[in-house]
Amino acid sequence: MTTPERSGPLAGLLVADFSRILAGPYASMLMADLGAEVVKVESPGGDDTRSWVPPVRTDATGATVGTYYLGINRNKRSIALDLKDPADVAVAQRLAARADVMLENFRPGGLAKFGLDYDSVAATNPGIVYASISGFGSSVEGARLPGYDLIVQAISGLMSLTGSPDGAPYRAGISVFDVMAGMHATIGALAALQKRHETGRGQHIEVNLMASALSGMVNQTSAYVAGGTVPHRMGNSHPSLFPYEPLPCRDKDLIVTAGNDGQFRKLVEVLGVPELADDERFARNEARNAHRDALRPLLVERLATRDADDWFTEIIAAGVPCGPINSVDDGVAFATSVGLEPVVEVGEGEAMVPSIRHPIRLSETPPDYVLPPPGLDQHGAEIRAWLEEDA
């Protein structure tokens, strides 16, 4: 294949990405940004997210594609393969035989009939790092459950923690466990590649959304397994810290946090009520939690005298974390204002697609953004010809 020169830390690695929707494509994009050559294998109908609209972006040909797809598929090449066609199955097997990493999120066991399961691929490619992503694992009981993020948010208990105490449970605003599982798959793949340097052999990595959920819920799952406490919905409040929530100012709410007693003292000094730090009801975090109903109106009374932006400037200057509740556009603008350069241009000319910068910065081998998200089977002929070489 004709490949742009890549300088990232994963340059030279070939990733065969048989996944679709979010968790797997997010994982392969993270690796692609870091220099890996990613071949995205799609069905003839394409990745479902191509048509998850609105919103859409129109390309140079006038075609529209879902921005969902665009957000997780840059730096890849696309080939469409019909696994009901024996000739296409053979192409898929040749790709797997050459790959360093293979990603898939079929129903557990679903690729075995095509000779694309781990055991079959490893028989001809013992160095393969093979990452399987599922909803609930590969046991008989887990494999029969559909792996949708929303279902995992419900079953894991996250939704029981999200929303007003007296209201309905809510999902998170993004598919948070898909993203976590994608990151976990990436971590697992990199760990297995490191081990391969010693042994020359790859291994099978299994990641599932349910396990990612229970791990990612951190203090809430620990509250139950280590403390015997079942957490419950608290709206925007924190079960272990106060203040740590939105508080109303004169014009709008401001997130105000005090992660320790020192920060609380600085906060009340800025607010002009330093005596609260010496009040035995509020002097220590445990006491503030116990008396939050008494403390909250005292803080709100002071905050209500000025606008949120004014308080933000002063409270931050005092070394106390706080922040406005932004819309997404304001969030991107804020990241720009603090020098994070959140938006990158992927590709050139009319093919260029704006995208969000890779979250990791490396001083010597930074991520790059050379290929815009591919059209369906855009590189199919090129990839097939390359796989025919030395076949």
Kindly report the backbone phi and psi dihedral angles of residue 323, in degrees, each rounded to the nearest multiple of 5, phi listed first.
-175, 155
Rounded CA separation 69/48 (Å):
8
End-to-end CA distance of the chain: 15
Told to judge if 100 belongs to the known catalytic residues of this protein, a careful annotator would answer no
The one catalytic residue in 178, 293, 310, 368 is 178
Cα-to-chain-centroid distance, residue 117: 26
Is residue 237 a contact partner of residue 220, using CB atoms and an 8 Å limit?
A: no
Q: What amino acid is encoded at 229 in this protein? A: T
Any alpha helices (H) in the chain, and if so which ranges? 23-33, 67-70, 86-98, 118-124, 140-143, 149-156, 176-199, 209-216, 218-225, 261-271, 285-290, 292-303, 308-317, 328-337, 380-388
Rounded CA separation 381/282 (Å):
69
Contacts of 2 (CB under 8 A, 6+ apart): 382
The SS3 of residue 14 is strand
DSSP string, 307-365: -HHHHHHHHHHTT--EEE---HHHHHHHHHHTT---EEEESSGGG-EEEEPPS---SSS
Is residue 282 a contact partner of residue 295, using CB atoms and an 8 Å limit?
A: yes
Q: Tokens standing for 206?
A: 């299994």
DSSP 278: G
Kindly report the backbone phi and psi dihedral angles of residue 222, in degrees, each rounded to the nearest multiple of 5, phi listed first.
-65, -35
Rounded CA separation 65/49 (Å):
9
The Cα-based distances of 40 to 14, 52, 116, 138, 179 in angstroms read 11, 18, 15, 24, 18
Supply the residues annotated as catalytic: 178
